[in-house]
Structures are given as structure tokens and as C-alpha cells.
Amino acid sequence: MTLGASALLPAANAMAATGCAVTYTTNSWSGGFTASVTVKNLGDPISNWTLGFTFPHSGQRVVQGWSATYDQSGSAVTARSLSYNGSLATGASTTIGFNGSWTTSNPNPTSFTLNGTVCTGSTTPTTAPPTTPPTTPPTTPPTTPPVTTPPPGGQTPVAINGKLRVCGANLCNQYGKPIQLRGMSSHGFHWFPQCYKDQALDAIATDWNSDLFRISMYVQEEGYETDPAGFTARVNELVEKTTARGMYALVDFHTLTPGDPMYNLERAKTFFAAVSARHAAKDNVIYEITNEPNGVSWSTIKNYAEQVIPIIRANDPDAVVVVGTRAWSSLGVSEGGNATEVINNPVNASNVMYAFHFYAASHKDNYRAELERAAARLPMFVTEFGTVAYTGDGAADLASSTQWLDLLDRLKISYANWTFSDKAETSAALRPGTCNGTQFTGTSVLTESGTFMRNRIRTPDNFPTS
């Protein structure tokens, strides 16, 4: 996205629009807002488009956008279509969005143009009330939500389970029944982009029979902080591809170094405002808001979570959010602590789960015992684990891995294995060089860890619907 350009001309080769309608909605917080803009073409079909509008006040700025490229000069904003959403037939619509900032007020634009034509067909700007963090504990969600629909005929994990919620210490489906999701985590997609092409995602969904795909977006380590708009766009693309395959998408804000999540607080607010606005209507998106906090207290992690979660809730009030725990998401065990600090002082929000990470060759009986103790009181989610040592390398410990997975199955704790990639380390599921090709199914492309995990994940799910 470029800001500061002065052009307000239609995109090249765009046909003139003879009529259009725009719906503009916002969610705001102190100093910022997220806008969603739905454009409907009421005129002749067009092959690409330019949407123009003007903010009522000069203090309003587009900070980060998606589903279009944005230019702003003064108060005037131009959004141009991308390759996948440029064609609009008569009566067709598309939705774009952006995060904005404001200084003194946040009124909405009142006039829009599509390829230079004023949109007069029921332009309906609306504004939701400003969002602030909760100041009192939320009402505890009912243990069993009411069943209002019959079991669906679809067979994908999302078609069967629908919108998820936290029920007591469990992750529950739309029928209020505890379930376990099993799947794979990406590596940093900026390092291994070829590992997440369509053929790879097809294999995860239909050959591995995965219920979920964890989209790991590194924040440091050459990640999000170097190109926020580009990394956000890639996450959104992978969420869409995961959704199309009927899996749950676990969006991982992959913080590692530094271990203090507060270092990335403003980045997290910007990122999750954009991603949650884009996917708020979906039933399959889960948000992991900090990967492996380390070297900080639980109270610091909790403070971070209680500032980030309201940003997500402003767009998606019911999304499941996973919060990392102390000492590389070990519930504090790796720094000499335990789950008591979380049990006695949980995050002040509903539909929240807590992350636990382990590496089977390094973390054994004492880690398993602490997770089982915690799971009796807290909703736990193993958002990352490996069959090898904590370094991600070394021999696969399949005996310890089996003990771990048997425990997770028994407790119905969901998990994502690290990693579906072809990195030259033993935690990777794919043999080095696999991602250069298009063959991802079967066992010939898998490492020892990959073969073991595929065999575990592809066993039949147990998703109760009554």
C-alpha cells in the first residue's frame, strides 16, 4: 500500500460504472478504527475498478488496508481493485477494508465514486459504538449452547462442528459437545512459501484429514515488522484457502524473541484488527495472540491479552482466542513455575483458551502431569509441539510422542504439530526439497516424524452432534 499519492483517476482499462451502492461500517476505539466497505455494481459489468471517497476531517488516515491498494492525498482516498476482485458483473458486490487513525473525531464519508461515477444507490454508512476493554468479568458462557439446527450433511470438520466456543474446560462445537481438533502448523511462511501452495493444502485437508491448519506468522525474525501489509495479506490468503478446504484456521502471532509480548502490543492491535475484520463472518478462525512468552510474569502476559482481545471482539464477538502461557507456553514449568498462577488469575474474557507447547524428546512426565492438572480447570490448546527435542532437531522420540498424543486424545485437547515444512530438521514433516514440487500426498515425501503424525491425524475424528 502506498500513501500520499494524489491520483484519483480510474484504473487503466476500467469501464465506466453507470450506478453503484456502498455500505460503509466501522468499529472504533480510542484513536483508531476499522472500516469495512461493500461496493455493489448497479451498472454495466466492469473489469476493474477504482473507489474514491473523502474523509470529513483531515485527521483521518488510512493506516493499513486489505483487498485493495490504497492511496491518500489529504482527506481524499482512492482504493483500487486487485487481480481477484476487479471484475464486477451487474448486481455483483465486493468487500474491502482498512484500519484507520483519527485525531479528534471519526465521522464517516458520505459520498463514494466507482470509476468516477457517484454511488447514489442507498449509500448507508453506519458506525458501531466505540470499543473499550471490559472492566468487569464477563458472564460465564452456558455449558451447553442450545441446539437449534440438525446435524449438517457436510463432512468437513467445519461443516460438522460449525462455530466453536469454550464450554467449561473444553473446546465445544455448535452442539455444545467437547471436541478435539488435530492438525499441522506451518513454519514461518516467509521462509517456506512453496510449502503452502494449493497442492500442499489439499494434502493436509484430504490426505492427512487434518481438522485445522496453524498459520504461523513470525513477528520478528524477518517477519511481520518488516512488512505489515504484506504479511497481513498473506495471512488472509492462507485463511481463505484453509476455509475453502473445510478446516479450522489457527492464526498464530508468532512472537518468540523478545519474549515480552508487550514489545509487540501495538503491532498486535493493528494486525488483529485487520484480520478479525476480514474474517469476522467466518466460523472457522481461531486467534493465537502470542506464541511463546518467556522471561516475563504471567501478569504481564495477562495484561497484554486483555488489551488485544477487545480489538478482536470489536469485529468478532464470539471468536475463540488462545493466550500463550509463561516460559515458552509451558504453563511456567520451563521456568520453575506451574499452572496455579493462571488458575488463580485467568484472563478477564470469555471464549479464551491457554496454550501449551512441548517437544517430546525434551519434555516428559513432569510436563505431562502439569498439563493434566491444568486441564481439569483450564481450557487448554496445544498450539505447537514436536516429536523431537526443543531445538526442533535430533532423533524423533516416538515413544514419548505416543504418550503425549494418547494423553491429548484422552483429555480432548486440540493440537497442531510443528511443522508441515521441508526444512532440513527432524521436526519437519516433509523431506527436504519436497516443496519444490507438487507431490505432497502419501508417505514417500515424509520424514519419520511426518509419517508418524500423518498416521495419528488421519484416524477417524470423534465429533459428537447429539
DSSP 405-432: HHHHHHHT-EEEEE--S--SSTT-SB-T
Asked whether residue 268 is assigned to any structural domain, the reply reads yes
Do 211 and 247 contact (CB within 8 A), yes or no? Answer: yes
Q: What CATH number is associated with residue 362?
A: 3.20.20.80
Per-residue pLDDT tens digits for 237-279: 999 999 999 999 999 999 999 999 999 999 999 999 999 999 9
**pLDDT on residue 122:** 52
Phi, psi of 53, deg, nearest 5: -160, 165
Residue 244 within any structural domain of the chain = yes
Inform me whether the pLDDT recorded for 128 exceeds 60.
Answer: no
Residues 78 and 171 reside in one and the same domain: no
Residue 187 domain-assigned (yes or no): yes
- The more confident residue out of 88 and 103 is 88
Confidence of residue 105 (pLDDT cuts 50, 70, 90): low
User: Does one domain contain both 88 and 162?
Assistant: no
Residue range 399-418: average pLDDT? 97
232 band by pLDDT with thresholds 50, 70 and 90: very high
166, 351 Cβ separation under 8 angstroms: yes
DSSP assigned state of 461: P
Distances (CA, A) of 80 to 84, 185, 223, 278, 316: 12, 33, 26, 17, 26
Identified catalytic residue from 292, 341, 370, 425: 292
Together in a domain, 407 and 271: yes
Catalytic residue at 335? no
CA-wise closest residue to 381 among 282, 291, 247, 262: 291
From its phi and psi, is residue 37 left (phi > 0), alpha (psi between -120 and 50) or beta? Answer: beta
- State the cell numbers at 266: 501495538
Q: Which of 4-8, 179-183, 425-429 has the lowest mean pLDDT?
A: 4-8
Task: Confirm whether 320 is domain-assigned.
Answer: yes
Shared domain check, 336 and 207: yes
State the residue range of the domain holding 418: 157-457
Q: Would you say residue 96 has pLDDT above 50?
A: yes
Band (pLDDT 50/70/90 cuts) for residue 5 is: very low
Which listed residue (341, 370, 384, 425) is catalytic?
384
Is residue 282 domain-shared with residue 335, that is, in the same domain? yes
Question: Are residues 232 and 339 both part of a single domain?
Answer: yes
Examine the domain organization and report whether 52 and 169 are in the same domain: no
Are residues 222 and 334 both part of a single domain? yes
Domain contains 150:
no
Spatial distance between the Cα atoms of 18 and 314, rounded to a whole number of angstroms: 35
Task: Determine the average pLDDT of the residues in 127-154.
Answer: 35
Mean pLDDT for all residues in the chain: 87
* Per-residue b or e along 24-42, where b marks 16 or more CB atoms closer than 10 Å to that residue's CB: bbbbbbeebbbbbbebbbb
Residue 101's pLDDT band (cuts 50, 70, 90): confident
Q: Residue 141 above 50 pLDDT? A: no
Task: Please report whether residue 31 resides in a domain.
Answer: yes
Q: Is residue 412 domain-shared with residue 301, that is, in the same domain?
A: yes
Give a yes or no: residue 177 inside a domain. yes
Domain count, the chain: 2
Residues 115 and 190 in one domain: no
Per-residue pLDDT reduced to its tens digit, 277-287: 999 999 999 99
Instruction: Identify residue 163 by its one-letter amino acid code.
Output: K
Q: Is the pLDDT of residue 86 over 60?
A: yes
Cβ neighbors of 315 (< 8 A, separation 6 or more) are 27, 34, 273, 276, 277, 280
Q: Do both 80 and 177 map to the same domain?
A: no
Please give the full DSSP string across 191-208, using - where no structure is assigned: T-GGGGSHHHHHIIIIIS
4 domain-assigned: no
Of 74, 108, 127, which residue sits at a domain end? 127
DSSP symbol at 317: T
Under the banding of pLDDT at 50, 70 and 90, the label for residue 59 is confident
Same domain, 191 and 74: no
Query: Is residue 460 pLDDT above 80, yes or no?
Result: yes
- Cell 516429536 belongs to residue: 387
Predicted confidence at residue 1, as pLDDT, reads 35
The pLDDT score that the predictor gives to residue 18 is 56
Does the structure show a pLDDT above 60 at 179? yes
Looking at residue 62, which CATH number applies to its domain?
2.60.40.290
pLDDT at 9: 29
